[in-house]
Amino acid sequence: MLTILVLHGPNLNLLGQREPEVYGKQTLDDVNQQLHREAKQLLVTLEVLQSNHEGDLVEAIHSAWNRCHGLLINPGAYTHTSVAIRDAIAGVGIPTVEVHLSNLYRREAFRQHSYIAPVAIGQISGFGADSYRLGLQALAAHLRHSTPS
């Protein structure tokens, strides 16, 4: 069975109350429940962590090496600032899908650059909480097609 690490970056613990016109009304718990339902359908196991601290996210990525098959990450604001998270993903070489609730390219100019995208196999943004579900589906399909049985 495939194991996928799901990482939620800073401020995602505030989903449902923080700028609902941008990020939607679903809470992080709602997103995680949706992901667990989807994972069950896809026959994958999820490990889920949310942190507002860059180092915690880096440590989680490091600990996934040789343990998890894939990484689904919403780095939040670290998308635009964290070379450390980018380097951690590149360093462990785990197939990664970057997801965002909002469409980065319809937002402020500083949000339109991702340090993560160049080390990810793909990026899904702009579909609210469904970005996570779609990202999980894409990652699971990629892993099944690229992992020998």
Whether 100 sits among the annotated catalytic residues: the reply is yes
Cα distances (Å, whole numbers) of residue 16 to 39, 40, 101, 130, 131: 22, 24, 12, 14, 16
CA distance 81 to 8: 15
Q: Is 29 annotated to bind ligand?
A: no
Which domains are delineated in the chain?
1-26+34-46+63-110+139-149 (3.40.50.9100)
The pLDDT tens digits along the chain (149 residues) read 999 999 999 999 998 887 766 666 789 999 999 999 999 999 999 999 999 999 999 999 999 999 999 999 999 999 999 999 999 999 999 999 999 998 877 767 877 789 999 999 999 999 999 999 999 999 999 999 986 65
**In this structure, what DSSP letter does residue 105 have?**
G
Whether 23 sits among the annotated catalytic residues: the reply is yes
Q: Is 136 annotated to bind ligand?
A: no
CA distance 147 to 128: 29
Q: What is the pTM of this model?
A: 0.92
Catalytic residue among 8, 69, 78, 100: 100
Q: Is 51 annotated to bind ligand?
A: no
Q: Is 43 annotated to bind ligand?
A: no
Q: Is 102 annotated to bind ligand?
A: yes
